[in-house]
Amino acid sequence: MTSETPSASPEFTTDVPTAPLVSLILKNLALAILTLGIYRFWGKTHIRRLLWTHTLIQGERLEYTGTGGELFKGFLLVLVTVFIPLFLLNLGARALVEQEEIRAAGAVYSIFAAVALYLPGVAIYRAARYRLSRTRWRGVRFSLEGKGWAYGVRVMLFLLALGLTLGLSYPVQRVNLWRQMWNRVHFGDKPFHFEGGARSLYPRFLLAWVVGMAFLLGLPAFIAITYAPTYEPPGGIPLVDTSPEMALLLIPLLFILLLLPLWIFYKAVEMRTLAGSLSFQGIRFTFDVRSWPLIRLLLGNLLLVLMTLGLGGPFATVRSLQFVCARLRPVGETDFAAIAQGAQPAPASGEGLAEMFDSVDI
Amino acid sequence: MAAPQGYFSDGLSAARHAVRLRMDLRHLVIVGEDGLALTIWSLADLRPVDSVAGGELRLSCASVPDARLTVTDPLATAALLAAAPALQPKTGPGRRGVGVWAVASVAAVGLLILALPILGTAIAGMVPRSWEEAWGDRVYAQASLLLAGPGAPECRGSPGREHLERLLARLAAAAGVDGLRLHVLANDLPNAFALPGRHVVVLGGLLTSAGTVNEVAGVLAHEVAHVAKGHVTRRMVQEHGIKLVWLATIGAGTTGDLAQSLLGLSYSRDAEREADAEAIALLAKAGIRSDGLGRFLERITREQGDMPAFATFLSTHPPTAERVASLATPRTGKDATSPDAWAAIKAVCPKK
């Protein structure tokens, strides 16, 4: 029999302190350099522990129970089983090209490309699985079922489909991948539930898509017109005409100014829909994210990371965390006593693949 | 129940109970709202769980690692910490730590920036010559394709070509470098460069636009200096080295490229200064007038303009004004070749 009052809606808060985080970042930098990078796994773990401990659900703090040693082991594992074979495959393909065995080189390179396309999806899944298994609330663990092999195949096929449909399948794919993952996320022994479609995403997506396509199709014409041959005076030394260079600078700028707001406009509804499709044991979620605050968040994070040459990464994560906590609201109640500790076998080491593909940022 | 002193989860479910605590010499008793003990933990078994400095103490128990106790009452917290000091939350570096680690990281980064060229040179020294030559042959093939066009032959006008080879050989001897391979490509750019594998490539434009043969000799000496000082192989290694080391230590992917470009350019400028100085020495050793390179740079700058000062950090070369100043030397030494040989050299590439 539980002695607690019926649970109020759990809300999300965060109180990451600045000075300790700055200290950690600097300490990680110094020690990473001195150990030629080996310390990074421990440094990353310390930062995660700080972030997790300062994130609260219903006023109670999360826990991160991973260790630097686990990350290091994962790294070594992947180094031996994936990186070195891939490296050798690549070398082999290049050596075959040298010796003019083009067909054999093509075959080897295709294997390399297939593996290289397949692994990032697996990496994402396994990184999530590791981090969830090392996250506890009230002592109860999160977990993610499955090993990620099927997920990786799905990501790879979706990439091909994206090309074939000129990008139109993107929203459907995003919803599908979220469903694949979130239906397998557990808190204790109870799963999350994802239910929803991509239909409401298409209006905004098509807006961005049409503008993006118009841009891409109009680009060759634009370049042809601006790239007039440079003027050569009779003296023989050509003057450098600067306008093609200016055009080359303007094109990406225009692209960003036009397309970015439209893309964020779409992303906002995508995030709202994905969160709204998620539920857990009677609790649903709302995520009140609007385009303009999202643009400010992303641009701010980009500036932060660029100006600190990457060192400010954890602070960008904190900004995103604060953003989410302020806008993600659970709706409804659940009986926590009914949630038992899960029996999921947890991965023994973590994230080697994600480390290799550099897709781990916190 | 009197005010709760903490909250307890047993690790078997996600339920949370408000609890009071009792302690004796060896045990901690966790008492539920109804006054009955929920569980008893041995003090020796208590383990800390990540807590926030100045916040609530969180504990677990070695025998039930999934259970969690959060102590909210300050008196209870003090009593527990007195009984089991190991439970004191270990905070990482705090405010003072910022200063200490800031200094440490600046020192470490400085060490890295200083060490990279040394590491680069050391690694470059270990690259087998056959690897470097294979690499260089490939790069030369691409350069030739790019600059002279597909299938274009090198310029071989006789006897100019032989005079040029002899001039290069004199400079190579002065530098103690062997096995240099000269190529002259039919391209109007007034330039020359050294590639891995001891290729020295001269573009036709250098021969036609140079005022005197000493200018050509100066440029050649500069390139030979690059080879002699190992810059060429080192650059080849550094291209990848800087990025790898940055990724390993700091680990932010995209900024690695930025760092590589900026650092690489600064090392490149140092290498150019070194090559300029060495070129003067080589020319002197070979008995050739050493003012050619400076004059060549001066003339090219007059004709094509120099880059603005603020763009220096984006350039592979130091600003020309600085180079010309450092290259100004007294005009001792003889002309590199006879006037006839110079005329022949100018005609190495066929006229368009």
Q: What DSSP string describes B242-299?
A: HHHHHHHHT--HHHHHHHHHHHHHHHHHHHHHHHHHHHHHHHHHHTB-S-HHHHHHHH
Q: How many helices (H) and strands (E) does chain B have?
A: 11, 10
CB contact under 8 A, A338 and B13: yes
Asked if B352 is an interface residue toward chain A (Cβ–Cβ < 8 A), one would say no
pLDDT above 80 for A351:
no
- State phi, psi for A35 to the nearest 5 degrees: -100, 15
pLDDT value, residue B239: 64
pLDDT of amino acid B266: 61
Facing residues of B22 across strands? B29
- Identify the pLDDT of residue A172: 96
| Angle at alpha carbon of residue B296, lines to B293 and B299, rounded to 5° | 150
**pLDDT confidence of residue B143:** 79
Sign of CA dihedral A130, A131, A134, A140: negative
Min Cα distance B262 → chain A (Å) is 12
Residue B196 to residue B181: CA distance in whole angstroms: 11
Q: Please state which of the ranges A45-59, A217-231, A262-276, B1-15 shows the lowest mean pLDDT.
A: A217-231
What crossing angle do the helices spanning B213-228 and B160-175 adopt, rounded to 10°? 40
Q: Which range is least confidently modeled, A86-95, A170-179, A188-197, B2-11?
A: A86-95
Q: Which residues of chain A make contact with B50, given a CB cutoff of 8 A? A: 49, 52-53, 61, 63-64
Question: What values do phi and psi take at B348, rounded to 5?
Answer: -60, -40
pTM, whole model, 2 decimals? Answer: 0.75
Higher pLDDT, A197 or B130: A197
For A101-120, what is each residue's pLDDT tens digit?
Answer: 778 888 888 888 888 889 88
pLDDT at A6 over 80: no
Q: Provide CB contacts within 8 A for B95, sequence distance 6+.
A: A19, A20, A23
Task: Summarize pLDDT for A257-299 with one digit per residue, the tens.
Answer: 888 899 999 999 999 999 999 999 999 999 999 999 999 999 9
Of B90, B112, B115, B89, give the one whose Cα is nearest residue A31.
B112
| pLDDT at site A240 | 45
Long-range CB contact pairs, A14-18, < 8 A, 24+: A14/A54, A14/A55, A14/A56, A14/A318, A14/A321, A14/A322, A14/A325, A15/A54, A15/A56, A15/B52, A16/A50, A16/A51, A16/A54, A16/A55, A16/A318, A16/A321, A17/A54
| Close Cβ partners of B30 (under 8 Å, ≥ 6 residues apart) | B8, B19, B21, B37, B38, B39, B40, B41, B69
- Give me the interface pTM, i.e. the ipTM: 0.80
Which chain B residues touch A188 with a CB distance below 8 Å? 13-14
- Asked if A33 and B111 come within 8 Å (Cβ–Cβ), the reply is yes
Q: Do B16 and A336 touch (CB under 8 A)?
A: yes
pLDDT at A45 over 90: yes
Tell me what pLDDT residue A315 has: 95
Output A38 or A319, whichever has higher pLDDT. A319
Residue A8 has pLDDT above 60, yes or no: no
Strands A193-194 and A283-287 come out as unpaired
Query: Cis peptide leading into A233, omega within 30 of 0?
Result: no
Q: Do A310 and B303 touch (CB under 8 A)?
A: no
Q: Does B98 touch chain A (CB under 8 A)?
A: yes
Q: What is the mean pLDDT of chain A?
A: 85
Chain A residues in contact with B303 by the CB 8 A cut-off are: 237
Residues of chain B with pLDDT under 70: 1, 91-94, 117, 120-121, 124-125, 127, 236-267, 304-316, 330-331, 352
Mean pLDDT of A38-64: 93
More confidently predicted of A242 and B351: B351
Q: How far apart are CA B313 and CA B316, in angstroms?
A: 8
Using the predicted structure, report yes or no on whether residue A344 has a pLDDT greater than 80: no
Contact A33/B112, CB-based, under 8 Å? yes
Band (pLDDT 50/70/90 cuts) for residue A243 is low
Say what angle helices A102-133 and A84-98 make with each other, to 10 degrees. Answer: 170
Q: Per-residue confidence at A226, pLDDT binned at 50, 70, 90?
A: low
Question: Which pLDDT value is given to residue B252?
Answer: 46
Would you call B15 and A336 a contact, using CB atoms and an 8 Å cutoff?
yes
